[in-house]
């Protein structure tokens, strides 16, 4: 009978250690998950800021102003502009 008790005690200790290890792993994964959620939130904010910045930099009025002031570009005279049309297109 004492042999059975020793075996049961060893099984009980092994199960207890497995439970402790599983809880530790779960806590570790939870901390990692929270860290990744925080990082994802920061990246979402940064993405929104970058989209706003892109919209500002790509504003056609801003590009026109820069082309005229910094690069010295001018619109061609109307007699030099030709508009081609495609006839009989499918």
| Residue 60 within any structural domain of the chain | yes
Which residues lie closer than 8 Å to 80 by C-beta, 6 or more apart?
A: none
Tens-place pLDDT, residues 5-61: 999 999 999 999 999 999 999 999 999 999 999 999 999 999 999 999 999 999 999
The DSSP string of 10-76 is HHHHHHHHHHHHHHHHHHHHHHHHHHHHHHHHHHHHHHHHHHHHHHHHT-HHHHHHHHHHTS---PP
Domain containing residue 38: 2-72
Give the C-alpha separation, 69 to 73, whole Å.
8
pLDDT for position 51: 96
State the total domains in the chain: 1
| Residue 87 within any structural domain of the chain | no
Contact (Cβ atoms closer than 8 angstroms) between residue 83 and residue 77: no
| Residue 84 within any structural domain of the chain | no
pLDDT for position 33: 98
| Residue 78 within any structural domain of the chain | no
| Residue 43 within any structural domain of the chain | yes
């Amino acid at each position: 009978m004492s042999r059975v008790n020793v075996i049961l005690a060893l099984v009980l200790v092994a199960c207890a250690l497995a439970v402790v290890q599983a809880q530790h792993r779960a806590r570790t994964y939870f901390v990692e998950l929270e860290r990744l959620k925080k990082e994802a939130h920061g990246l979402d904010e940064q993405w929104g800021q970058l989209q706003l910045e892109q919209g500002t930099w790509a504003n056609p009025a801003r590009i026109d102003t820069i082309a005229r002031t910094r690069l010295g570009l001018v619109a061609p005279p109307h007699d030099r502009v030709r508009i081609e049309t495609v006839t009989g297109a499918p």
